[in-house]
């Protein structure tokens, strides 16, 4: 029997990284540069590889995968749209596009448009990873499988972390509401929470199909809820 606990450990480590690195991420994303876009793209590749690892995890003989390409493709499309905006915004491409006048004549314009096209193509990587046929690996030793699970879940969590850091930086200049009622806070929280789940729940759903367990679900729900509440408490309200 494959040992459980990787999701809880991965989520606990992610919260620690969040507390340590969030201020640095906010500062980093407040200064738009091509390096930001490269960082996001690199983490996105790690995120996609992590999803491949999750899909390749061996399935115990008494467990059915229950995989649905349609639903996974649906999640992949939304994430791809968000990723295109994410990378372009952090790299400052929108500002470069605004400054362009006339036909594409300068080298800068060619480079910027080339990056846009490349990132549009890259944004479909996650969707492809979700819908292509991937054969699970043979069932191997417990510890090696557990380490693969931990690495894959951490890769997904790191993508969530830099996304939260980006939104903190993006809304840092917004004046928060000071007299927002409790009902309004709950409503905004729930809407934002659904937004995050729409983009990041798919990998954990895939993991849950292969490794059912309440503890991993609870830790992910609480982890994401903490990120969302902390984000909103500094940007949407005081």
pLDDT digits (tens, 9 = 90+) for 160-197: 999 999 999 988 878 887 778 888 889 999 999 998 99
User: Among 44-48, 56-60, 183-187, 225-229, where is mean pLDDT lowest?
Assistant: 56-60
147, pLDDT greater than 70: yes
pLDDT of residue 178: 75
Rounded CA-CA distance 86/81 in Å is 9
Contacts of 78 by beta carbon, 8 Å cutoff, 6+ apart: 198, 199
- Say what percent of the chain tops pLDDT 70: 81
- Structure tokens, 84: 């295109």
Higher confidence at residue 116 or residue 45?
45
What pLDDT, in 10s, does the model give residues 71-100?
677 777 778 778 878 877 887 776 655 555
pLDDT of residue 101: 47
> Coil, strand, or helix at residue 92?
coil
Higher confidence at residue 47 or residue 82?
47
pLDDT of residue 159: 93
Q: Distance of CA 64 to CAs 5, 58, 150, 164, 216, Å?
A: 20, 11, 21, 33, 18
pLDDT of residue 110: 64
Which of 93-123 are b and which e, b meaning 16 or more Cβ less than 10 Å from the residue's Cβ?
beebeeeeeeeeeeeebeebeebbeebeebb
Higher confidence at residue 141 or residue 15?
15
Q: Distance of CA 17 to CAs 10, 14, 21, 22, 174, Å?
A: 10, 5, 6, 8, 25
Phi-psi region of 236 (alpha: psi -120 to 50; beta: other; left: phi over 0): alpha
Q: Which residue has the tokens 């846009």?
A: 116
Report pTM: 0.84
Number of helices (H), then strands (E), in the chain: 9, 0
Torsion of CA 213, 219, 224, 230, to 10 degrees: 170
Rounded CA-CA distance 126/48 in Å is 6
């Amino acid at each position: 029997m494959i040992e459980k606990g990787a999701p809880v450990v991965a989520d606990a480590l992610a919260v620690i990284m969040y507390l340590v690195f969030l201020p640095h991420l906010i500062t980093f994303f407040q200064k738009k540069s091509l390096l930001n876009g490269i960082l996001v793209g690199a983490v996105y590749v790690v995120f996609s590889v992590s999803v491949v690892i999750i899909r390749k995890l061996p399935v115990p003989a008494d467990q059915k995968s229950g995989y649905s390409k349609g639903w996974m493709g649906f999640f992949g499309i939304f994430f791809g749209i968000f990723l295109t905006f994410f990378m372009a915004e952090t790299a400052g491409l929108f500002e470069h596009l605004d400054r362009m006048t006339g036909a594409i004549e300068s080298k800068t314009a060619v480079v910027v448009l080339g990056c846009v096209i490349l990132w549009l193509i890259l944004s479909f990587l996650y969707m492809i990873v979700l819908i292509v046929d991937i054969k699970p690996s043979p069932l191997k030793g417990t510890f090696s499988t557990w380490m693969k699970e931990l690495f894959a879940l951490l890769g997904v969590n790191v993508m969530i972390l830099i996304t939260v850091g980006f939104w903190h930086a993006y809304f840092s200049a917004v004046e928060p509401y000071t007299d927002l009622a409790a009902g309004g806070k709950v409503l905004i929280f729930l809407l934002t929470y659904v937004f995050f789940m729409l983009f990041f729940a798919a990998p954990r759903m895939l993991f849950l199909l292969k490794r059912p367990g309440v503890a991993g679900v609870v830790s992910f729900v609480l982890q994401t809820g903490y990120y969302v509440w902390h984000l909103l408490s500094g940007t949407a309200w005081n």
